Amino acid sequence: MPLSTQSQADIDQYILIASLDNARNLSNILKAISFRDHAIFNATQNGLKVTVEDSKCLQANAFIQVGVGGQLTSFKTQSQVCVCTALRMCYNGYGYPLTLFLEEGGVVTVCKINTQEPEEPIDFDFCSTNVTNKVILQSDSLKEAFSELDMTSEVLQITMSPSHPYFRLSTFGNSGNAHYDYPKDSDMMELFQCTKIQTNRYKMSLLKPSTKALALSCKVSVRTDSRGFLSLQYLVRNDDGQICFVEYYCCPDEVEEE
């Protein structure tokens, strides 16, 4: 395929080369987190991590395994990436644009996107040892709930408890309030580890973008830590069976402990 006609010399100048045969998966994942204009791309040996942040309260990360060659590098660029069938992403290093080679049906499109200084992504300091409550649900049941959520509510309240109501999503809108309860023994509940009752509210506007990632995913893990910070991790399995992760961190609006 035409991408392979790049000469070795061309390839050597890049510090990062990431290749995908089918870029649609990347495209979908990126769309799932592109709620802001800019994203931070972080490439490691393990793959590509793309980070988008909003108002210091919300952070979304997408982890994509791509064939990666090159060194550790990080840059910031436009998050709206247009991709078609085959993609090679190349980066010369600091100051250079991100070069995308897109190939479809023998036609190669070269796209250069300017890069900027990346800011340090916020460290939400969310570590597994601090996790108070954790559930893993099959996404289907959450998808329906999220599509029905009352958008006139400013917050989404999440209650997690070792006893009833176990896992509850609540909204407080113009017409009244609504609660979606998932019992711990539901067959949609793959894992239920709640140590103490916690109720936290998160701004609906911050969580709304996560529904895109939810739509792509097959499973989601919901965790809260002792401060009430929320971590949503979505497992996305693409057509080739490859697994990608998208995670959202969100800080609480208020902390209520019952």
Partner 1 sequence: MDCVVTGGNVKVLAKAIHSLSRIGEELYLEPVEDGLALRSVNSSRSAFACFLLSPLFFQRYQAASDQSFRCKMPIKSVQAVFKSLASLDRSVEKCRIQLNSEKSRLTITLHCKHGLLKTHNLSFQDCESLQAVFDKESCANVLQAQPRLMVDTVLHFPPSLDEVNLSVSSDRVWLRNHVEDDADSLRAMMTELCLSSEEFDHFAVGTQTSVTFCLKELRGLLVFAESSGLPVSMYFDEPGSPVILSVTDSVLEANFVLATLSEDSHPKNHVNSDTKHPDTEQPPDDFMSDDMDSFLIAMETSELPGPSHAPASPPRPSNNRKHSFSEEEALAEGPPNKKFCSLFFGSVLPTSSQLPNQTMQSQEVLASDSEDENQTETS
List residues binding partner 1 (CB under 8 A): 141, 144-145, 147-148, 150, 174-183, 185-188
Nearest approach, Cβ of residue 253 and partner 1 (Å): 21
Contact of 76 with 41, CB cutoff 8 Å = yes
Which one, 129 or 175, has the nearer CB to partner 1? 175
Nearest approach, Cβ of residue 157 and partner 1 (Å): 13
Which one, 13 or 147, has the nearer CB to partner 1? 147
Of the candidates 75, 64, 58, the residue with the CA atom closest to the CA atom of residue 122? 58
Contact of 32 with 211, CB cutoff 8 Å = no
Which one, 105 or 176, has the nearer CB to partner 1? 176
Nearest approach, Cβ of residue 165 and partner 1 (Å): 8
Backbone angles phi, psi at 79, to 5 degrees: -90, -15
Nearest approach, Cβ of residue 177 and partner 1 (Å): 5
- 246 Cβ neighbours under 8 A, 6+ residues apart: 29, 32, 33, 60, 61, 62, 63, 213, 216, 217, 233, 234, 236
Which one, 145 or 255, has the nearer CB to partner 1? 145
